[in-house]
């Protein structure tokens, strides 16, 4: 990844530059002591990642981000931890590093940036969509890619702008839609039985009237989906 550093402190720029040299995937293109110079550079050049200080004279890191139409991935580097919550209101910010920065924490931030970049390239502008590979489902939670074993999923429930994925081990809340995850799940295992529920038909314990029991969850089955459910079952 091509990257730049924006920090008004020369010592800080030197330290981050040294950290970059220890990560093979990083190519440090340029360093800037202020945001104005960086903006001029970015008007003519593209980068994949920016290491950005928050507190700079006349132009804060957040001011700088707001000038960018299509900002690249950004890792904030600062001595002030109190802006972390505000920072993650920006989709482009992938991590928040508090100085002094140690190499282990630095590498973890780079991994987050790389994962976020891969996800964006694969699924365009929607970086919340699930990705599948074989029997695995990858979901983006708190800017991390979490792998879920598909057969372990027994229920997916829609809740507003989110879906709740329930597995044998734990539950995951993901910013996505039931339609998107339905497209990723194998038809031989999963069936949408209601506008708000997708079930793993192999996990059904009991069926009664217009509902199914899966684990401890009683799931409604809509009238229109019931024939398909009965068709899928191995009835005696």
Pick the last residue of a domain from 123, 157, 184: 123
- What per-residue confidence (pLDDT) applies to 231? 87
- Give the CATH number, domain containing residue 174: 2.40.50.1020
Instruction: Tell whether omega for the bond before 91 is within 30 degrees of 0, i.e. cis.
Output: no
- What per-residue confidence (pLDDT) applies to 145? 77
Residue pLDDT, tens place only, 97-149: 999 999 999 999 999 888 776 555 544 434 444 555 557 888 877 667 788 88
- What per-residue confidence (pLDDT) applies to 184? 85
Gap between the Cα atoms of 72 and 194, Å rounded: 40
Domain count of the fold of the chain: 2
In this structure, the answer to whether residues 21 and 48 fall within a common structural domain is yes
In this structure, the answer to whether residues 119 and 135 fall within a common structural domain is no
- What per-residue confidence (pLDDT) applies to 83? 83
The whole-angstrom distance between residue 116's C-alpha and the CA centroid of its chain comes to 6
Range of the domain at 63: 2-123
Pick the last residue of a domain from 98, 123, 148: 123
In this structure, the answer to whether residues 92 and 19 fall within a common structural domain is yes
- A 10 A CB-CB count for 47 gives 18
In this structure, the answer to whether residues 42 and 17 fall within a common structural domain is yes
Which regions of the chain are under pLDDT 50? Answer: 122-129
Pick the last residue of a domain from 72, 96, 123: 123
- What per-residue confidence (pLDDT) applies to 122? 44
Which two structure tokens, joined as six digits, stand for 115? Answer: 């994962």
Find out whether 101 and 77 touch, Cβ atoms under 8 Å: yes
Q: What is the pTM of this model?
A: 0.53
In this structure, the answer to whether residues 119 and 26 fall within a common structural domain is yes
């Amino acid at each position: 990844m091509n990257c730049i550093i924006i920090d008004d402190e020369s010592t800080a720029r030197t330290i981050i530059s040294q950290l970059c040299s220890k990560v093979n995937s990083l190519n440090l293109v340029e360093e800037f002591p202020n945001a104005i110079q960086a903006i001029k550079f970015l008007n003519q050049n593209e980068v994949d990642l920016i290491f950005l200080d928050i507190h700079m004279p006349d132009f804060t890191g957040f001011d700088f981000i707001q000038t960018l139409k299509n900002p690249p991935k950004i890792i904030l580097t600062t001595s002030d931890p109190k802006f972390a919550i505000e920072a993650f209101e920006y989709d482009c910010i992938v991590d928040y590093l508090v100085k002094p920065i140690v190499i282990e924490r630095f590498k973890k931030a780079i991994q987050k940036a790389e994962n976020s970049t891969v996800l964006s390239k694969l699924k365009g502008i929607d970086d919340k969509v699930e990705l599948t590979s074989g029997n695995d489902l990858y979901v983006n939670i708190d800017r991390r890619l979490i792998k879920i074993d598909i057969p372990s999923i027994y229920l997916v429930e829609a809740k507003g702008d989110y879906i709740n994925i329930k597995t044998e081990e734990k539950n995951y809340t993901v910013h996505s839609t039931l339609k998107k995850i339905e497209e990723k799940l194998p038809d031989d295992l999963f069936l949408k039985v209601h506008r708000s529920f997708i079930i793993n038909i192999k996990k059904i314990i009991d069926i009664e009237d217009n509902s199914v029991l899966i684990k401890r969850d009683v799931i409604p089955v809509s009238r229109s989906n019931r024939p398909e459910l009965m068709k899928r079952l191995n009835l005696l």
